[in-house]
Structure formats: C-alpha cells, structure tokens
Amino acid sequence: MISPNAQALSKTLTTLTGIPVSCARKPRFTPSRSRRVYGIYNELPAHDTILLRADLSLLASLGGCVAGLTDSLAADRAKISPLDETLRSGIHDVLNVLSTLLSGPERVVFRSLCLDVAYLTGPARSVLNSQAPAQTFEVTIKGYTGGELTIFSEES
C-alpha cells in the first residue's frame, strides 16, 4: 500500500467533486462525536486489509457532491436508515476512487461500506483494534461539511 499524502488526497477529491477540497494531516487519535463509517479494501494478491474510517458527514458531503446533491440534502439523506440509495452510490464512487490513492505495486480494491462499527468483523475489525499504521486527515470542502478521515493498514 502506498501511504497517500494530504496533497494527493486534496487533488484527487478536488478532481472528483469539481470543488476545492483541502486536506491536512492531524494526530491519529482525536476524539470525535461524529458518527463514523468504514470503507473496507483488499490489497491484491495478498488480500491484506486496508480500512478507511471517516465521519459520515464527510462522506455524505463528498458522495452528495458527486451525486449532485446540496450539502443540506446530503446531510438529511445521511440520517435515513437504510442509507438513501443515491447518497450510498455517491459514497461508493468516492471510496472506489480513493482506492487509487492506496494502490502501489499491488492493486487495492474497495470491497464494502460498513455503517456501524458493531458490524465490522474479521480482518477489518482486527486492523481497527490493532496498533496498525494509520494516517489521519482533516478534510475541508468548500461549501460542504468536512470531517476526519483515517486510513489503517495491516502491519506487514
């Protein structure tokens, strides 16, 4: 896995959304009251797990922007359970594109979205509970709600 930097993350998200997105590194363990969701990736061919944890408000904003939703509409749809299909599709698009930042010599593929840590199982749960290497970013989106994004990877 390649460790993305803030500049690459900003550029990728700006290109995807068409609006300015800035990212800055921050300390790994910062308390948050935001609801967090998880993107689960596999690095092939080894099948190592990479876990992306993000504030739902951030992914809703990014996914909503990709789907053509306003920030307030994306925020409202993020509160619906099950997650609104248009918003879910936009979030999946974002998570899929982010896999390109994680790919190095091995290919990284987005596997699934987990909306509740209670349902995070297997290798993804192990990566979250371990002292796995992690990078945390504060993401700001012009005109939309930003938030925190953390990338965890299995120790090799």
Q: Does residue 52 fall inside a structural domain?
A: yes
Instruction: Domain of residue 65: give its range.
Output: 6-27+36-153
pLDDT band at residue 133, thresholds of 50, 70 and 90? confident
Count structural domains, the chain: 1
Q: Does residue 62 fall inside a structural domain?
A: yes
Q: Does residue 120 fall inside a structural domain?
A: yes
Q: Does residue 23 fall inside a structural domain?
A: yes
Q: Does residue 1 fall inside a structural domain?
A: no
CATH number at residue 51: 3.40.1550.10
> Looking at the predicted structure, is the pLDDT value of residue 28 above 70?
no
> Looking at the predicted structure, is the pLDDT value of residue 91 above 90?
yes
> Looking at the predicted structure, is the pLDDT value of residue 154 above 90?
no
pLDDT band at residue 30, thresholds of 50, 70 and 90? low
Q: Does residue 117 fall inside a structural domain?
A: yes
pLDDT band at residue 106, thresholds of 50, 70 and 90? confident
Beta strand pairing call for 107-114 and 36-44? antiparallel
